[in-house]
Amino acid sequence: MLSCRIGTEHEKFGFEFGSLRPMKYEQIAELLNNIVERFDWDKIMEGDKIIGLKQGKQSISLEPGGQFELSGAPLETLHQTCAEVNSHLYQVKAVAEEMGIGFLGIGFQPKWAIKDIPIMPKGRYEIMRNYMPKVGTLGLDMMFRTCTVQVRHDDL
């Protein structure tokens, strides 16, 4: 018998309340470490850099420009995915506000130039940053200035 699961991928931009500037990697690392301490997530590391978190079948990852992404667990109902996203947003907001950080889920970031957005310390993002301008004109905008909400549909 085929069983269907759905998962949510929810991305958002983090910014400093005072300056409205994008978060630096050091702030993101502090935020991730604080979420680990407060809400019992496990760290995902690349070398000595924290690049995400994992808890059960859900994870938090960093997109190239520091966008925070919840990759939700494969769940049975829309109500479960809603509860998971709400819990994630609560946790991120609870820790971020204490640091003077806010989050905004908006499809495209019109305020920040690409040069002002820090690249996250994932090896593949540096490769992509160098490659994208060779194959088109908007690849870097997609990498650094966009956020989405997506539904993942899994048949098990």
Residues 23-66 have pLDDT tens digits of 999 999 999 999 999 999 999 999 999 999 999 999 999 999 99
Residue 61 near residue 11, CB atoms below 8 Å: no
For 111, the 3-state DSSP assignment is coil
Q: Please enumerate in sequence order all residues whose Cβ is within 8 A of that of 115, keeping only pairs 6 or more positions apart, or say none.
A: none
- Helix%, strand%, coil% for the chain, nearest 5: 40, 30, 30
d(CA 129, CA 145): 13
Kindly indicate the confidence band of residue 133, based on its pLDDT and cuts at 50, 70 and 90. confident
> Per residue in 51-106, pLDDT tens?
999 999 999 999 999 999 999 999 999 999 999 999 999 999 999 999 999 999 99
**What pTM does this model have?**
0.92
Nearest CA among 84, 17, 26, 88 for reference residue 53: 88
* pLDDT at residue 34, as a whole number: 99
**What's the chain's Rg over C-alpha atoms?**
16
Residue 47 near residue 30, CB atoms below 8 Å: no
